[in-house]
Amino acid sequence: MAESPVVGTQLNLLDHFPEWLKKDERPGFEGYIVPAEHLLEFAHALRDRFGYDLLSSVTGVDYLPEGKMEVVYHALQTTGGPVLNFKVQVDRQNPVVPSVVSIWPGADFQEREAWDLLGIRFEGHPDLRRILMWEGFAGHPLRKDWKEPYFEEEAKPYKSRWPEGHVQRAEDRHPLHDNVDYPAGFDPDSWSPETADDVLYKTYQSIMEGSDSELHTDRMIVNLGPQHPSTHGVFRMVVVLDGETVVDVKPVFGYLHRNHEKIGERCTWLQIMPFTDRLDYISSMSNNFGYALAVERLMGIKPPERAEYIRVMMAELTRIVSHLISIGFLLNDLGAYFTPSLYALEERELILDIFEAVSGSRMMCNYFRFGGVARDLPEGVLDKVKELVFERLPRKIDEFDRYLTRNEIVRVRTEGVGVLTAEQAIALSATGPILRASGVPYDIRRADPYSIYDRFDFDVVVRYHGDVYDRYLVRLEEIRQSIRILQQVVRDIPEGPVQTGKPQWQVRVPAGESYGRVEGPKGELGYYIVSNGKPNPWRYHVRAPSFVNLTSLAQMARGGKVADIVVILGSIDIVLGEVDR
Amino acid sequence: MNGLGIVRGLWVTFKHFILTYIEDIRTGKRRYYSPEGILARTKGDVQGAFTIQYPEEKYPVPEEFRYIPFLVYEEGENGQKNYRCTSCGICAKVCPPQCIWIVRTNDLNTGKPIPAPAEFYIDVDICMNCGLCAEYCPFDAIKMDHDYEIASYNRFTDHIFNKERLGKPLSYYAQIRPQNFAREEAARKAEMEAKAARKAATA
Amino acid sequence: MANEDLQIPGYEIPPEMQGQVAVTTLDRIYNWGRKNSLWPMMFGLACCAIEMIATAASRFDFARFGMEVMRPSPRQADVMIVSGTVTKKMVPQIVRLYNQMPEPKYVVAMGACASGGGPFKEGYNVVSGIDKFIPVDVYIPGCPPTPQALINGLMMLQKKVERESLRTARWYSREPAPAIPVPVLGPDLMDPRRYDEIRAYTLSKRNQQTTEEQTEA
C-alpha cells in the first residue's frame, strides 16, 4: 500500500542537496520544498540521477492566508514505486516559477492549466496561453479570492436552503439574470472578438511561411471541431497542413470545462463523490475509486474486505466498458461505420445492467463511500457477474479478436501510424495503454499496488511498436486480463460488512495533503487534495489521464496524413469530461 | 494480405445477422411483447437482436434505480397526507448541487419549529440524481423515484417540483422498492418494540 | 395503425369503401410524414451524449422512430439534441449550428444541464440552460436521462410536430426567420442582444466602486 511515506525509505534527497532542499514539515504534508531558483537543477538531477523519468502531475495551490502560491509536482519512476512529491513556493502577488517543459515535456498542458486557472507564470514555457478558458477571460478562477457570478457562500451547505429555503433560481439573484460578470466600467462595444483565435494562429506564424516540398504547396490551417463527428465530443484540433501532410497540431480545450475543481472546493468531501462520476463519464466507478482512496488515505481508514473486492470488481468491469467503447469507436473513426461500436455497446449494456442494479444508475454510479461502498450487492448480481466473466465476455472478446484483429484494412490503416517511442512516451508523461503500447510495462496496479491488487494474478500487457494497432491490441488484451482478475474476484469474494463504521454524511478529514492514484482505463488518474481540517477541501485537483495523454497528440500526428489524425485521436481514447473537467 | 481477415470478420457479422432470425424462430411469439420475452432479452446469455421496444415494452428497472427524488407520505384515514419528512434539513445539506429547498414549519403561537416541512422544493434542472438525499435521510422520508417519463414542454412552469408534486404514497414506495421497504419496515418495527420494552422496563 | 393515425373522425366513408380509402387533411398527412422522419444532429456535448449513443444503439434503437439517420452536419438535421452541459466557450458554436439548420427545426434539451444548468450551474463557465440562447421544444429532466427517458422526450416532440399547422407554422411565412446573434467571448460571455444591459451593469458597478472608495477615503 502507498500508505508509507512517499520518499525517504530508499532515498534521502536531503543528503544530496543539503544547502537548499528542505523537507515539507507541515503536519500531514510530505515531500520536499525546492527554492524556485534551484528547481531546474533539482529536476535535472531527479530525472537523470535518480530515475524519476516521468512527471506525472503539475498543479498549483493558492494559500491565500499565507500569501503564497505553491506549485506541486509529482514525479515517478517508470520502473515502479511510489510517487515523489516536491513543491515550489512563491509569492502570491507575483507568482513566477521556472518551467520544467525543457526537462519533462509532458508538463506542457498542465503548466498552461496552472497559468490559466491560478495565474502562475511559468518562465521559459514555449507557449504559455490560457488552456481551458479563452484568451481574454477576466481573472484566474481557481484563486481563492476570485468569485464566480453565482457565488453564494464560500462552502456548502448553503444557508439559504434550510430552514428558510424559499426557492429561487440562481439567475434571479443576479442583476443580469445570467451567469455572467464583467469588470467595472467595461464597454462591450470596445471588445474585438477575434482575440482568442488570433493568439493561437500567431503561434503558427513561423511554420506557416515556407514549404520544403518539391511541388509548390501552400500551408494552411484546418480546424477540426469542436463539432466534428470524429472528435469524441467537443474537442478542437487546429492542424497545419502541407498538402495532405500534417506539419503541426494544437489541441484546443475547454469546450466542456465545467469547473469541476472550483465546484469541488465549495463542496463537502462527500458531495464531491457524485461529481467525480462526471469526469470520465464512461468509467465513473474508477473515478470514484481514486477519489475514495485519496480521502481515505488522509482519514487513515480502510474499507472492509468485502468492500475491497466489490471495488475491484466494479473497477475492472469499468475498464472493460471503457476499453470496449474505445475499440468500437476507434473502428468507427477508421470508417467501419457503426457495426463494431454497436457490438461493443451490446456488451456494455449488459455490464451497465449490473451497475444499475448495484448503484441505481447506468452511468453516474456514485457508489463508493469513504471506508467502503454505498450498499452491498443486491441479490442475483453476483450470479450475473459470474455468467458474464466466465461465459459471455471471454467468448465475445474472442469474437472481437476474430472480427477485427486480422482485418487487412484495419492493419493497413493502423500499423505504423501515430508512432510514439518509449522515450517519447515517458517524456510526454503518457500513461495507461498509450505508455504500455510503446513498450513501457508500467501499470499502477503492479508498480505501486493499491487496494488489494497485489493479491490477484494478472499480466501487465505490453507491446513494443507504439502505433495505433498496438494500442488497440493492448486494450483488447487488457480486457482479457480484467476478466481474469474478475474471475478471481468472484471466486474469492468474502461475506461481511461493506462499510467501516457508520455511514456518515459529514466526514472529518484531518489537515494535510494526499495524492490518490489509480490505474484508470485511460491511464493514471490522480486526485491531489489538500485539507485544512474543514468540512470542504482547500484544494481539490484531478490529474486527468486523457488530458495529459493529449500532450503526445502532436508528436504522434506530425508527418502523418490528415486522415490519420482522426485515428490517432481515437487511439488516445479521450473523454472530454475528463480532459476539460 | 490476402483478404482472409476481412472474410473472417464478415463471417462474424453474418452470424450476428442470422442469429436474430434463428432466435426468433426458436422462441416464437413469446420473444416480443411479453414479460418473459423482455426478461430473456436482458439476460447475459441473450443472442441475436435484443432491442427493447419502448414504449410498447419497457425495460424493467432494478430496485435501486434512481431518478428524481420523491417525498413519502402515509395516507391518513380521511385521505390526508402525512408526510414522513420532519424538515430536519439533512437532505438539503448533503445535496451536492444544492437543489433542495425546505421551509420549516413554525408553530404560530410559540414560534418554535414543528417537525414538518411547510414548503419543500426540488429544482429538477439542477438535481443530479445522485441519491445522497435518500441515502442519508434518517426518517426514510425522501426516496428516489423510478418514474423517468417526465419530459415537458416548459421548464419554467414544470421543473421546480413542490411538495404536492413530490409527494407519493407509501404504497407506491412499497411497490417500486419492495426489498428496501420490507427491510426498513422490519427495522422500524424492531425499534418500536425495543422502545416499548424500554418503556415497560422503566414503568 | 398508420391509417388510424391519419383518419379524421367525423368524415363518413361509405361502408363499401372502408378499408380502402382514408380521408385526411393535408396538415395531418404532412405532419405524419415529418414526425416519423425526424433526423437528429450527431452532436454530443457531455455525459448525456453517451446515453444518446446508447439510445441509438441496439438495446433501445431509436431507428424504430425513423431517427436512425444521425447527421453530423446541421444542414441535414431536423432536431438538435443538446446533450450535455453547455459551456460559455461552446455556446457560440451551438448558436451557429442552430442558425445553420434548415427550417423546420427543433431543439430537445436533454438532461438537467442543457435544460437549466444542471449540477454544474454554479460554475463560472456554465450557461444556465441552452434556452437562454435558442428556443427549446422539449425538456428532459434527469442526469443523465436514461435512454427510455430520452425516447419518451422524443415522442413528446413527435406529438408537438403532429399538432402543428401549415397555416400557422413560422417557417412558411414570407419573411425569413432572423438568425440568432452569435454570442461573443469577452471578459465573460456576451449576448449581443443585451449589450445595453451589460453597459448599464458595468457602469453601475463602477459607480458603486467609486462611492465605496470615496467613503473609505
- Tell me, yes or no, if A558 comes closer than 8 A to chain C by beta carbon: no
Reading the block at residue A322, the C-alpha cell is 471503457
Instruction: Confirm if B174 and B181 have CB atoms less than 8 A apart.
Output: yes
- Tell me, yes or no, if C215 comes closer than 8 A to chain A by beta carbon: no
Element (H, E) at A57: strand A54-63
Closest C-alpha among A463, A452, A458, A453 to residue A479 = A458
- Tell me, yes or no, if C107 comes closer than 8 A to chain B by beta carbon: no
Cis peptide before A303 (omega within 30 of 0): no
Each residue's pLDDT tens digit, A314-324? 999 999 999 99
Each residue's pLDDT tens digit, C155-171? 999 988 888 888 787 77
Number of CB atoms found within 10 A of residue A24's CB: 17
Q: What is the mean pLDDT of residues B80-94?
A: 88
Q: State yes or no: pLDDT of A49 exceeds 80.
A: yes
- Tell me, yes or no, if A204 comes closer than 8 A to chain C by beta carbon: no
Rounded to whole angstroms, the Cα distance separating A232 from A574 reads 7
Nearest-CB residue to A138 (from C44, C45, C188)? C188
Residue C2: predicted pLDDT: 45
DSSP B65-130: ---SEEEEEEE-TTS-EEE------HHHHH-TT--EEEEEEE-TTT--EEEEEEEEEEETTT----
Query: Which of A227-231, A466-470, A487-491, C163-167 is the least confident region?
Result: A227-231
Q: State yes or no: pLDDT of C187 exceeds 80.
A: yes
* Nearest C-alpha in A relative to C90: A255
Q: What is the mean pLDDT of residues A288-309?
A: 91
Q: State yes or no: pLDDT of A530 exceeds 80.
A: yes
Residue A172: predicted pLDDT: 84
Q: State yes or no: pLDDT of A171 exceeds 70.
A: yes
User: Which of C110, C115, C160 should be substituted to probe chain B, the one whose Cβ sees the most B Cβ atoms within 10 Å?
Assistant: C115
Chain A 167-226, residues with CB within 8 Å of chain B CB atoms: 167-169
- In sequence order, what E strands does chain C have? 79-83, 106-110, 138-140, 184-185, 189-190
Each residue's pLDDT tens digit, A237-287? 888 888 888 888 888 888 889 999 999 999 999 999 999 999 888 889 999
Contact criterion met (CB < 8 Å) for A256 and C119? no
Contact criterion met (CB < 8 Å) for B6 and A408? yes
* Nearest C-alpha in B relative to C145: B148
- Tell me, yes or no, if A156 comes closer than 8 A to chain C by beta carbon: no
> Chain A contacts of B129, Cβ < 8 Å?
361, 364
Residue B38: predicted pLDDT: 84
Chain C 9-28, residues with CB within 8 Å of chain A CB atoms: none
Residue C173: predicted pLDDT: 79
**Percent of chain A whose pLDDT exceeds 90:** 33
Contact criterion met (CB < 8 Å) for C186 and A182? yes
Nearest-CB residue to A360 (from B66, B123, B136)? B66
What b/e sequence results for C75-105 when a residue is b if at least 16 CB atoms lie within 10 Å of its CB, and e otherwise? eebbbbbbbbbbbbbbbbbbbebbbebeeeb
For chain B, list the domains and their CATH numbers. 1-58 (no CATH), 69-202 (3.30.70.3270)
Residue A214: predicted pLDDT: 61
Residue A9: predicted pLDDT: 47
Interface A–B counts its CB contacts (< 8 A) at 150
> Chain A contacts of B121, Cβ < 8 Å?
165, 167
> Chain B contacts of C59, Cβ < 8 Å?
50-52, 59
Predicted ipTM?
A: 0.90
Residue A154: predicted pLDDT: 87
Each residue's pLDDT tens digit, A545-569? 999 999 999 889 988 888 888 889 8
Number of CB atoms found within 10 A of residue A421's CB: 15
Task: State the pairing for strand pair A219-224/A236-242.
Answer: antiparallel
The alpha carbon of residue C137 is apart from the nearest alpha carbon of chain B, in Å, by 6
Residue A211: predicted pLDDT: 56
Reading the block at residue A309, the C-alpha cell is 473486492
- Tell me, yes or no, if B137 comes closer than 8 A to chain A by beta carbon: no
CA angle A174, A254, C91 (to 5 degrees): 55
Q: What is the mean pLDDT of residues C179-198?
A: 86
Q: State yes or no: pLDDT of A196 exceeds 50.
A: yes
Rounded to whole angstroms, the Cα distance separating A74 from A85 reads 5
Instruction: Confirm if C82 and C94 have CB atoms less than 8 A apart.
Output: yes
HSE at residue C108, side-chain half, CA atoms within 13 A, is 34
SS3 C164: coil
Residue A521: predicted pLDDT: 92
Each residue's pLDDT tens digit, B103-143? 888 888 887 888 888 888 998 889 999 989 998 988 888 99
Contact criterion met (CB < 8 Å) for B101 and A359? no
- Tell me, yes or no, if C139 comes closer than 8 A to chain B by beta carbon: yes
Contact criterion met (CB < 8 Å) for C124 and A262? yes
Reading the block at residue A311, the C-alpha cell is 471495488
Average pLDDT, chain A: 87
Each residue's pLDDT tens digit, A89-145? 999 888 999 999 999 998 999 999 999 999 999 999 888 888 888 888 888 999 988
Contact criterion met (CB < 8 Å) for C187 and A183? yes
Q: What is the mean pLDDT of residues A42-50?
A: 88
Rounded to whole angstroms, the Cα distance separating A405 from A472 reads 9
Average pLDDT, chain B: 86
DSSP A301-347: ----HHHHHHHHHHHHHHHHHHHHHHHHHHHIIIIITTHHHHHHHHH
> Chain C contacts of B52, Cβ < 8 Å?
59-60, 148
CATH fold for the domain made of C37-162: Rossmann fold (3.40.50)
> Chain B contacts of C64, Cβ < 8 Å?
51, 53
Residue A8: predicted pLDDT: 41
Instruction: Confirm if C25 and C8 have CB atoms less than 8 A apart.
Output: yes
Residue A476: predicted pLDDT: 92
Nearest-CB residue to C144 (from A180, A259, A363)? A363
For chain A, list the domains and their CATH numbers. 13-123 (3.30.460.80), 269-538 (1.10.645.10)
DSSP A532-559: -SSSS-SEEEEE-HHHHHGGGHHHHHTT
Number of CB atoms found within 10 A of residue A173's CB: 13
Say which residue the cell 411538495 belongs to.
Answer: B163
The alpha carbon of residue C186 is apart from the nearest alpha carbon of chain A, in Å, by 6
Rounded to whole angstroms, the Cα distance separating C5 from C28 reads 9
Chain C 49-68, residues with CB within 8 Å of chain B CB atoms: 58-61, 64
Residue A2: predicted pLDDT: 39
Residue A1: predicted pLDDT: 38
> Chain C contacts of A188, Cβ < 8 Å?
184, 186, 190, 195, 198-199
The alpha carbon of residue A403 is apart from the nearest alpha carbon of chain B, in Å, by 4
Rounded to whole angstroms, the Cα distance separating A210 from A220 reads 11
Instruction: Confirm if A476 and A323 have CB atoms less than 8 A apart.
Output: yes
Domain limits, CATH 3.40.50.12280, in chain C: 37-162
Contact criterion met (CB < 8 Å) for C64 and B68? no
Chain B interface residues (partner C, CB cutoff 8 A)? 49-55, 58-59, 61, 67-68, 96-99, 123-129, 148-155, 158-159
Contact criterion met (CB < 8 Å) for C116 and B123? yes
Chain A 335-364, residues with CB within 8 Å of chain B CB atoms: 339, 343, 346, 349-350, 353, 356-361, 364
Q: What is the mean pLDDT of residues B147-172?
A: 87
